[in-house]
Amino acid sequence: MLGHSKVINVVFTLRAKHVFDTVVPKVKVDTKLVRMDEMRLSQWRQLKELQGFFSVRYLKFRYGSRNTYILLAYVEKKLVHVQWIVPAKRINRRYPFVTEDSYCIISCLTSQEFRGLGIYPSKIQHVVRSNILAKSFWIWTACTNIASLKGITKAGGIKVGEFRQRKWFWGGISRIRYFSIESNNK
């Protein structure tokens, strides 16, 4: 079928009040957590350079709101990592397992030459410890993405389930089946 894919994702949650060991990246990282509507033009340019024009445009259209945040991580003024932090109200139509009063950390990307330096897990922790008012944060990754799985676990992520996502027409239409760990044990 044209533009069809099937992906299995592992779902984690991080609690805002949870105590976990702090991950310190191996390089000095300057971090900015910016509300989407407060992003400057120069930040949008850097973001498009890292994530790609069409990806950024899609994310802005699909998940953009006054309560959407973007984490930007810089090494020597170069943008090397990004995370989109989306409120549940903007995302739970597509991902119905997400609970109210929570945020989702999505579309994370670290520049190729800065991978493996602990930036990803340290920035997940930065979001969880930030002043974003949320009871919990959700994050997921493909079950085959070993580096992301390790990074999320290192950041204190607790595995709560998985979902199988089928996409048609390059993601224009999708279907999700979520399985919590509790339902897997029954």
In this structure, which topology does domain 5-184 adopt according to CATH? Aminopeptidase (3.40.630)
Residue 91, class by beta-carbon neighbours within 10 Å (0-12 exposed, 13-18 middle, 19+ buried)?
buried
Residues 73-85 as b/e (b if ≥16 CB within 10 A, e otherwise) read bebeeebbbbbbb
pLDDT score of 5: 73
Within a 10 A sphere around the Cβ of 143, how many other Cβ atoms? 13
Sequence spans of domains, the chain:
5-184
Provide the pLDDT for residue 2: 59
Condensed to tens digits (0 to 9), the pLDDT of residues 47-88 reads 999 999 999 999 999 999 999 999 999 999 999 999 999 999
pLDDT of residue 139: 98
pLDDT of residue 57: 96
Q: Note the pLDDT of residue 114.
A: 98
Q: Which residues of the chain have pLDDT under 70?
A: 1-4, 19, 170-172, 183-186
